Amino acid sequence: MAARCSSRTVYPWLLSAAFCLLPIAHAAEEASEGAEVPAAEAPAADSELTVGAAPSPVPVDDIRKFAEVFDRIKKTYVEEVDDATLINSAIRGMLSGLDPHSAYLEPSAFESLQESTTGEFGGLGIEVGMEDGFIKVITPIDDTPAQKAGVEAGDLIIKLDEQSVKGMTLDQAVDAMRGAPGSEVKLTIIRDGEEGPLEIAVERAVISVNSVKRMLLGGGVGYVRITQFQAQTGGDFVKAVQRLKKALGEKEALKGLILDLRNNPGGVLQAAVEVSDALLEDGLIVYTDGRIRSSKLRFNATPGDILEGVPVVVLINGGSASASEIVAGALQDNRRAIILGTDTFGKGSVQTVLQLDDTHGLKLTTARYYTPSGRSIQALGIEPDILVNRAKVTELQSSPIFKEADLAGHLVNGGSKKGKNSAMSEEDVKAASEMISKDFQLREGINVLRGLTILK
């Protein structure tokens, strides 16, 4: 839903601790004038504005003050400053003074905005951090150029091509590693166990980050983790659930689902709506409210619950923000899922990107969003139904979560035949057991699911 105002394009709605860009086009109803909107901070009728309306007059005294400051800086600052630098700095200052999420988007930020939405960019495919002034490889992403070239977790990158990374910021190093697909960068690496530095040439490629991961946990319990909400996340979530069902086959039904939204910073509003819609038969998912007419939107579920009522537990924590909170709030208010973990981040505002030209834009907070019951989570967050803090699981506590009946190849009750769990190999069981044994919140989520299954 991109709207035109003069020569500027308006892109509504961004939701995340980081930010994303996507026009919404999913089951949204623009609230007509006079339509009933939940009362949570609803604006007065005469306060509504339209995007592209005539600009409000600026007091002459304020313009004079700005012009005087501009002139004095130009004349007396220790070094010459060009006009564009001062104007851009003034614009950044105007936006940064509003709230933490409004910003002036210059070319690099505008490009990053689009990359974070699509989940695709030209690069090497590694997650990195800083250690002792060098770039440390946290992990190479599966099936990416870095992994295929032999880059390993724990490697220290000391040079990019012939340039030392010492003194670079992490952002500068990441920018240097990104580039046009097909171009090559030479990494000089220090690796434990090697006598000297290694040189690895890596050809950049378009990196597609998969935001949805799935796994069977045994006993008919499925696990889906969403790391962030990208443009394709809604469809990928539906596919993940379908594949879990298919993996179980006809002999065993999916008895419960763990949806893990921990440390998910948010992302695209439409993706959050699609994930919620997939689990709801009907009802309101979320609504937004602000001063401009186009900020008054309601998102309703369409008929069809992909799980057909199978119990769901959603895991959240303080790193779950924005779009993650929309999903948790929608499922909680519609009584579709049990929310387990700790309070979420509390970002309940919506940003709109106003494109100024091909390379610049404004990211401006234009609305708050509300859960179906009318709650604003801004600065409060979603409170879980079951409070479970993250705990360090000791070896004694990490006893096997699986019962005998959950194990591959378990004996049936009569003892005369060998039962077969067609969904999980012994390797799958081992991987699931290891993950569960290290994650106390996940273990508690499985226990809750089993209780719900028994009650059902």
- Pairing type for strands 284-290 and 8-16 reads unpaired
User: What's the pLDDT band for 22 if we cut at 50, 70, 90?
Assistant: very low
Position with higher pLDDT, 453 vs 203 = 203
Predicted pLDDT of residue 48? 34
Domain 121-208 is classified in which CATH homologous superfamily? Answer: PDZ domain (2.30.42.10)
In 72-204, the DSSP E strands lie at 103-105, 120-123, 126-131, 134-140, 156-160, 163-164, 184-190, 198-203
Q: Which pair of tokens denotes residue 203?
A: 């050809």
Q: Is 46 noted as a catalytic residue in this protein?
A: no
- Report CA Rg, the chain: 26
Q: What is the mean pLDDT of residues 51-70?
A: 80
Q: Are 206 and 239 in contact (CB under 8 A)?
A: no
- Which amino acid is it at 122? G
Whether domain 212-349+371-455 has CATH 3.40.50.1980: the reply is: no
pLDDT in tens, 202-214: 999 987 778 999 9
Q: What is the mean pLDDT of residues 175-185?
A: 89
Predicted pLDDT of residue 413? 58
pLDDT in tens, 66-122: 999 999 999 999 999 999 999 999 999 999 899 988 989 888 777 766 665 666 667
Domain boundaries, the chain: 121-208, 212-349+371-455
Q: How remote is the C-alpha of 124 from its chain's centroid?
A: 21
Q: What is the mean pLDDT of residues 163-176?
A: 84
Q: Is 456 exposed, middle or buried (0-12, 13-18, 19+ CB in 10 A)?
A: exposed
Write b or e for each residue in 383-405: b if 16 or more Cβ atoms lie within 10 A of its Cβ, otherwise e.
ebbeebeeeeeeeeebeebbeee
Q: Which pair of tokens denotes residue 410?
A: 């378990």
Q: Which pair of tokens denotes residue 180?
A: 């046009």
SS3 272: helix
Q: What is the mean pLDDT of residues 168-197?
A: 89
pTM: 0.70
Among the listed residues 155, 333, 406, 439, the single catalytic one is: 333
Range of lowest pLDDT (8-12, 100-104, 225-229, 380-384): 8-12
pLDDT in tens, 247-291: 998 878 999 999 999 988 888 899 999 999 999 999 999 999 999
CA distance 354 to 361: 5
Position with higher pLDDT, 93 vs 47 = 93
Q: What is the mean pLDDT of the chain?
A: 81
In 256-415, the DSSP E strands lie at 256-260, 266-268, 284-290, 297-300, 312-316, 338-341, 349-355, 361-370, 386-387
Predicted pLDDT of residue 153? 81
Q: Is 32 noted as a catalytic residue in this protein?
A: no
| DSSP code, position 295 | G
Among the listed residues 16, 294, 322, 349, the single catalytic one is: 322
Residue 233 has φ and ψ, to the nearest 5°, of -65, -40
Q: Are 244 and 214 in contact (CB under 8 A)?
A: yes
Write b or e for each residue in 212-245: b if 16 or more Cβ atoms lie within 10 A of its Cβ, otherwise e.
bebbbbbbbbbbbbbbbbbbbbbebbbebbeebb
Alpha-carbon torsion angle 217, 220, 226, 229, nearest 10: 170
Q: How remote is the C-alpha of 416 from its chain's centroid?
A: 50
Predicted pLDDT of residue 393? 56
CA distances 61 to 57, 68, 74, 231, 241, Å, are: 12, 10, 20, 45, 61
Q: Is 322 noted as a catalytic residue in this protein?
A: yes
Q: What is the mean pLDDT of residues 233-256?
A: 94
Query: Is the per-residue pLDDT at 412 higher than 70?
Result: no
Among the listed residues 347, 349, 363, 406, the single catalytic one is: 347
Side-chain-side CA neighbours of residue 89 (13 Å): 10
CA distance 366 to 15: 11
